[in-house]
Amino acid sequence: MQERGRVQNPAIVLQAQNLVKRFGDLVAVDQLSLALEEGECFGLLGPNGAGKSTTLEMLEGILPPTSGEILFDGEPLKGDYRQQIGIQFQATALPEYLSVNDCLTLFSSLYRHTMDSAELVRICRLEALLPQRHSTLSGGQRQRLLLALALLNRPRLLFLDEPTTGLDPQARHNFWQLIRDIRSTGTTILLTTHYMDEAEQLCDRIAIMDHGRVLRQDTPARLIEQEFRARLVSLPADLSLGGQWTRPWVVRNGRQEYHTDDVNQVLTELQRRRVDLTGLNVRRPNLEDLFLKLTGHQLRS
């Protein structure tokens, strides 16, 4: 794969405008608009049922929207769109006896232009697994094979639907590195995830969805900066804080939390009130905090 890197004013590869998907009376996706920049990794985040997979399937050209428009390179999706994108499916319905090598050969026949297979095998770290039956792979190995199948046609745009769900921490970290490698070649990536750390690690920009709508979209750092003060001070929920404060402390997960730009001032005030600071914690707000604030619930981890 050739190193392309990110450009200063990236082109818009894929654009969705006012996408709506109804299933009977249910509005699964509601007036969703987003634009993917060439070379970025964009994350769709949301709780179960938020509409992420439905959105992805419409953007992949698999599911027709009820209304709205999808543009690839500024044009409505055409017949050769599938040749230019890669989709990492959750599973393959291939016969069990096929080896990893057989799977790669079989899928290669679906595309006009395919990637050099040795390069693909190297990128997805499949060398040692080529003769092995795909049905006997571990979770992490299976994800690498599914990723290789999605990359076979050297796609400009790669779709990953919850790519690391069910993987152990080691396999997740290895898979993240793979995604970073692919992104560094200039491939544009759209992924859905339930994992905040995954979004913070991998995504240049994210959209937070709930009830079919995008609540916010921007870089993780800017979103956090817009919604919160610089630091979050917390203490055990059952501790008395010595009466009224200018702003309320918010109770969550057995802690009472206070957002502030001036940690020293909060600590001085707590000491003045003779509050026991043994259980004190000070940290930066993260995407999990943002998600909770916007949706009122935590993301499944």
Return residues touching ligand ATP (CB under 6 A). 23, 26, 28, 46, 48-54
Helices (H) and strands (E) in the chain, counts: 10, 14
Residue 220: which residues within 8 A CB-CB, separation 6 or more?
199, 200, 203, 205, 206, 287
**What is the DSSP code (8-state) at residue 135?**
G
As measured in angstroms, the least distance from the Cβ of 202 to ligand ATP is 17
Whichever of 39 and 46 has its CB closer to ligand ATP, that residue is 46
Q: Which is nearer to ligand ATP, 210 or 289 (CB)?
A: 210
Residue 51: CB minimum distance to ligand ATP, A: 4
CB crowding 247-263: b at 16 or more within 10 Å, else e: eebeeeeebbbbbbeee
For residue 21, list its beta bridge partners: 29
| Of residues 53 and 83, the one with the C-beta less far from ligand ATP | 53
Q: Give the Å distances, CA to CA, from 239 to 95, 268, 275, 278, 281.
A: 60, 17, 8, 11, 13
CB of 55 to ligand ATP, least distance (A): 7
Question: β-pairing, 41-45 with 188-193?
Answer: parallel
**Residues 66, 69, 71, 74, Cα dihedral to 10°:** 160
Would you say 23 or 245 has its CB closer to ligand ATP? 23
Looking at beta carbons only, is 247 or 300 nearer to ligand ATP?
300
Minimum separation from the CB atom of position 153 to ligand ATP (A): 25
- Closer of 21 and 134 to ligand ATP (Cβ): 21
Give dist(CA 94, CA 102) in Å, integer: 10
